[in-house]
Structure 1
Amino acid sequence: MSTDIELKRLRHFVLLAEECNFTRAAERASLSQTAFSRSILTLEERLAVRIFDRGTRSVHLTAAGQQLVVKARQLLEQARDLARDVEGIANAESGELSFGASLMAVDGVLNGLLPELMRLSPRLTVNVEVNHWRQLQQRLEQERIEFFVSYPGFLTDNNDFAVTPLPAIPSSIFCRPGHPLLVAGTQPSPQDLPNFRWAAVQLRDAAAKRMQALFGMPANAPLPLALTSNNLSLLREATLSSDLLLFTWSSWLQADVTNGVIVDLGQRLRPALPPKAMELDFAIVQLQGRTASPAAQRMIDLIKGAATQKIIN
């Protein structure tokens, strides 16, 4: 028996089982009766079993044919399901998408994009892993995610990864109202900041070196970090209830700054920090040489557009 059985012959099998007549079945298949009969004979040869008993006026399924037609219908239904799935995946309308993002990426870009992705891809299942970039790198290498959006780390120099830079994200230093640096009649300077304890999302080495230079610290001096956490609520509450200085990207605290709940100390420093000195690098990271699924490419395009639009605005 040959396992090379074409779907079209299974369709002919089912049609003949339904019509019990070669002429009518051939008409439904849009074939001549000769071509249709040849297709059924070829199928029987490949199955190595007779599936129809032919009479002078009618055709009937054999006992084997009665069993096999059930399987044939199931295979044809599965083939139709596969065709629908392929179309949905190709059009980024269905399937599954798994990608990663840092807290900064979630707050800075993704919060407004997932509803748009759901609108464009209504049958798509999306899995988003929020983590530090090092953990996201591991997940990418394990191919558990297709890409991640975060600080790119040292991956820009690694040929195993394709890194697409995005516009940098503004950051600043924040403190509570009534902080000692805000005492009336005083003007806080960058060199005052190392005199207080700091809070931040986990800092990378490059950011630490930049801060040492910005705030006049010796190159080998440790940063005065008192609290690091990936929990933004914890960082906010600790800053509001103490003299901690919070180093973070600006967007997630914008409402608090506007309402006077928290103070953007970076805007008050004199001399002012150099333009872009506190910006945070931001990128889309993929495995080199891998083709993104249509759904992943749609999400990547949305992220690029949103990141650019935020900078323009």
Structure 2
Amino acid sequence: MLNLRRLEHLAVIAEEKSFLKAALRLNLTQPALTRSIQTLEESLGLQLLNRAHEGVSLTDAGQRILPRALQILGDAESLKREAQQLVGVDSGHVNFGVGVFPAEAFLTRLLIEQVREKPGLTVDVDIGNWQRLRGKLQRNELDFVVALTHSLPPPADFEVRPLPPQRFGFFVRQSHPLLALDALAQRQALRHYKLIGPVLPLQARLALQEIYELPHHEELPVGLSCDSVAVLQSVMLSSDSVLFATYEAMASALPCAVSSAQGLALPHVQYAAAQALATSVIHAQGRVLSPAALWLIGKIEQVLASTGSEWKADLLAAGP
């Protein structure tokens, strides 16, 4: 019998190109996933997958069936969202994603206010880099995503709702050797210290390549890639590493240090000409957002608009 769950299994296998990886992602055993696909193939009377030693691929029939399967899954998700509108804001459910640095800037305060104002609302949050969240958004696994998208634009068929922008900088511990250097010496010495930060898309690495004046982005002195601001902050404060992060995230992550560590931001190294970079709410065009999701987006706008606090002002004063 044809059902949505088996269509989802097909979609995940087509993406992962491996029964094992797909089973792990779906939290299924590999035999159970194999049976599910066999049942789907029997119900359609078609072989959908080529199973070979080097991996799994779609047959010609599978390639024709998959787009329709994805459409059906998307329609089913939209139907569920429309049904949630009948539930309303006070007892609905929202599943959204947040980029690493935007999350640090607003998420804790947002969820505190949500729990106080709408305690019956259920919220699932996925924090991660925009590359991964973009894939989940395209698979209809998230209602919307809040992310910095300047280095990896959203697909053309997605709606983008601007939020207050953020600004990237380079941060070091107090008394770091780089802080004692003048502008030219600081830029020249930068490459001799390990760079730490989130998982970076290619466009961001290319921009950093220019800043570091390197012939290839693979030569960047990356010492740690991690999607946890708390971990990155701790490593930066305990070493000579240079942290690539947003001022907004650092203002939130270092509240106790701001008043005594005005030199945290490197004053002579700038990213994207120190311009503010757009933060956006992204969701699929035509997707019906529930009242709960719309309420939460409005609350995010309020929280981000009010993050121009003393912490942020202090950090910006330490910048270029």
Q: Is the 8 A contact 2:84 2:93 kept in 1?
A: no
> CA 1:275–1:220 in 2, change beyond 3 Å: closer, same or farther?
closer
Q: Is the 8 A contact 1:256 1:262 kept in 2?
A: no
From 298, 307, 311, the counterpart of 2:304: 307
> CA 1:276–1:257 in 2, change beyond 3 Å: closer, same or farther?
farther
Equivalent residue for 2:260? Answer: 260
Q: Aligned AA for 2:302?
A: G
Q: Is the 8 A contact 2:197 2:226 kept in 1?
A: yes
1:122-154 Cα distance to aligned partner (Å, 9 max, x none): 311111111222222222223222001112367
Equivalent residue for 2:193? Answer: 196
> CA 1:86–1:171 in 2, change beyond 3 Å: closer, same or farther?
closer
From 280, 293, 298, the counterpart of 1:296: 293
Aligned residues: 224
Q: Is the 8 A contact 1:167 1:311 kept in 2?
A: no
Q: Does 1:209 align with 2:206?
A: yes
Q: Does 1:230 align with 2:227?
A: yes
Equivalent residue for 2:176? Answer: 179
Q: Does 1:149 align with 2:146?
A: yes
- TM-score under structure 2 normalisation? 0.60
> CA 1:218–1:117 in 2, change beyond 3 Å: closer, same or farther?
same
Distance in 2 (alpha carbons) for counterparts of 1:137 and 1:202: 14
> CA 1:133–1:277 in 2, change beyond 3 Å: closer, same or farther?
same
Q: Aligned AA for 1:231?
A: S
Give the greater-gyration-radius structure (CA).
1
Task: Give unmatched runs, 5+ long, in structure 2.
Answer: 1-82, 314-320
Distance in 2 (alpha carbons) for counterparts of 1:142 and 1:122: 29
Q: Is the 8 A contact 1:95 1:124 kept in 2?
A: yes
From 99, 102, 111, the counterpart of 1:102: 99
Distance in 2 (alpha carbons) for counterparts of 1:137 and 1:274: 23
> CA 1:310–1:117 in 2, change beyond 3 Å: closer, same or farther?
same
Distance in 2 (alpha carbons) for counterparts of 1:196 and 1:243: 7
Match of 1:168, SS state, is strand
Distance in 1 (alpha carbons) for counterparts of 2:209 and 2:191: 9
1:66-104 Cα distance to aligned partner (Å, 9 max, x none): xxxxxxxxxxxxxxxxxxx978723x1112111111221
Give the deviation of 1:220 after TM superposition.
5.2
> CA 1:197–1:87 in 2, change beyond 3 Å: closer, same or farther?
closer
C-alpha RMSD of matched pairs (Å)? 3.0
Q: Does 1:138 align with 2:135?
A: yes
> CA 1:225–1:215 in 2, change beyond 3 Å: closer, same or farther?
same
Q: Percent identity?
A: 26
Equivalent residue for 1:89? Answer: 87
> CA 1:116–1:247 in 2, change beyond 3 Å: closer, same or farther?
same
- TM-score under structure 1 normalisation? 0.61
